[in-house]
Amino acid sequence: MRERVEKFFNDFAKAFENLKKATEVAKDDLDIDGTIKRFELCYELAWKLMKEYLADLGIIVKSPREAFKQAFINDLIENEEVWLKMIEDRNLLVHTYTHEQSRDIFHRIKDEHVGELGEFYKSIQQKIENDEF
């Protein structure tokens, strides 16, 4: 199972770096739309990484909401509310995509979500390096 955690971590790490870069350089609609797609990928990989890590601890989760709640309880994330907002933002992007909403969400991605994803990256990296699972 640890191999799966490490694989998900490697995929998440690449996606996170790509998202960070995208938020730093996005200037026009094409850049912003690309950043939003990178966020969606990063979000999916983050929750699947959490799911695998928690499964290694014997905690089975079946949804992002459950994963984020358990990740908070198990000290993988610090701000559960931001993660729950990510669920809302991701769902809005996928199901009711409007230009105005997407730009509002882009600013949340840039101002809040990237920082929280970065904190998760550091937390899970440290746990993997210290073999804490």
pLDDT computed for residue 1 by the predictor: 62
Average pLDDT of the residues in 91-106: 89
Average pLDDT, the chain: 95
Q: What percent of the chain has pLDDT over 90?
A: 89
pTM here is: 0.93
Superfamily of 2-129 according to CATH:
Nucleotidyltransferases  domain 2 (1.20.120.330)
Query: Over the chain, what HEC string results?
Result: CHHHHHHHHHHHHHHHHHHHHHHHHCCCHHHHHHHHHHHHHHHHHHHHHHHHHHHHCCCCCCCHHHHHHHHHHCCCCCCHHHHHHHHHHHHHHHHCCCHHHHHHHHHHHHHHHHHHHHHHHHHHHHHHHCCCC
Average pLDDT of the residues in 12-22: 98
